[in-house]
Chains A and B, each alone.
Chain A
Amino acid sequence: QQKVQQSPESLIVPEGAMTSLNCTFSDSASQYFAWYRQHSGKAPKALMSIFSNGEKEEGRFTIHLNKASLHFSLHIRDSQPSDSALYLCAVSMKGGRALIFGTGTTVSVSP
């Protein structure tokens, strides 16, 4: 059964700094990799996703995937207080299978 782990568990980052979040997964046949963000009391919302090895950048956010290492990451450049939230990585197999979520990282960006 797929195991998805995140590190660190929580993080405090000064405003303007880089936030780096890690996610490892156990099933090498995984095909879809995504990061979600959940603000307190709100629905989780997709930030970015990637299918193949490499890097993808959208604004201040960069996702990096290394399937051989069973690892992907999210980097947030110029972190803002509004980025403070619970960040969840998610993995799924092909064919519309359900997302399996990681253990979560709570990020606090201090002004």
Chain B
Amino acid sequence: GALVYQYPRRTICKSGTSMRMECQAVGFQATSVAWYRQSPQKTFELIALSTVNSAIKYEQNFTQEKFPISHPNLSFSSMTVLNAYLEDRGLYLCGARQGTEVFFGKGTRLTVV
């Protein structure tokens, strides 16, 4: 079956520092990977959509300078939160697409102190 692993599951970083999170598709090749942030109020915000060999499309309020994404192959993507502050806290989820279906990992929970 199609599975998506995200690592780490939880992380705490000091305000102003950066942290990198990873997303691995297992059992399938993802045609695209989308990164989301789920706020403490449970709302999902789309950060960016990444398709291998294409430009990464960032949504309004999110930039490459703040959330650089690497997507080197069809099964792996990583995103870094640069210069993290309190408003960056939340659950970061990746959704990997196979055909019309999108499979999600359990997310990386970021706490900023």
Contacts and interface: CB of A to CB of B under 8 A. Distances in A.
A96 to B, nearest CB: 6
B101 interface: yes
A106 B42 contact: yes
Nearest to B35: A98
A101 B4 contact: no
In this complex, the member of A44, A88, A100 whose beta carbon has the largest number of chain B beta carbons within 10 angstroms is A44
A98 B93 contact: no
A105 to B, nearest CB: 10
Interface residues of B, number: 24
B99 to A, nearest CB: 9
A86 B34 contact: no
B105 A43 contact: yes
B97 interface: yes
Interface residues of A, number: 22
B53 interface: no
Given A96-B31, A96-B51, A49 B93 contact: no
Interface string A19-47: 00000000000001000100001111110
Nearest to B47: A98
A98 B46 contact: yes
A106 to B, nearest CB: 7
B101 A46 contact: yes
Contacts of A90: 102
A32 B100 contact: yes
B60 A97 contact: no
Which 9 pairs, one residue from A and one from B, show the smallest C-beta to C-beta distance?
A: A101-B44, A98-B34, A98-B49, A43-B104, A43-B106, A44-B104, A104-B42, A98-B46, A43-B105
6 contacts: A42-B106, A46-B101, A96-B31, A96-B51, A98-B32, A98-B95
Interface of B: 4, 31-32, 34, 36, 42-44, 46, 49, 51, 57, 60, 93, 95, 97, 100-107
Interface of A: 1, 32, 36, 41-46, 49, 86, 88, 90, 96-101, 103-104, 106
